[in-house]
Amino acid sequence: ERRIGIPVTSSNHAMAWHCLRLAGIDDVVPAGGRLFALPAR
């Protein structure tokens, strides 16, 4: 992401983020890229 300047994700990455948010876990994971820096909505 840093090198190319746009968010990069995969279906597994997105599913992990979604499952954590469904479980009520809102932790920011800096190493997780831009997706894991987003708060739950």
Tokens read off for 21: 């948010």
| Cα 41 to Cα 2, 3, 12, 25, distances in angstroms | 25, 28, 20, 12
pLDDT in tens, 1-41: 889 988 888 999 899 989 988 999 888 887 888 888 877 66
**Count of domains forming the chain:** 1
Give the pLDDT confidence score for residue 11 in this predicted structure: 94
Give the pLDDT confidence score for residue 31 in this predicted structure: 82
In which residue are the tokens 């979604």 written?
Answer: 18
Q: What is the domain range of residue 9?
A: 1-41
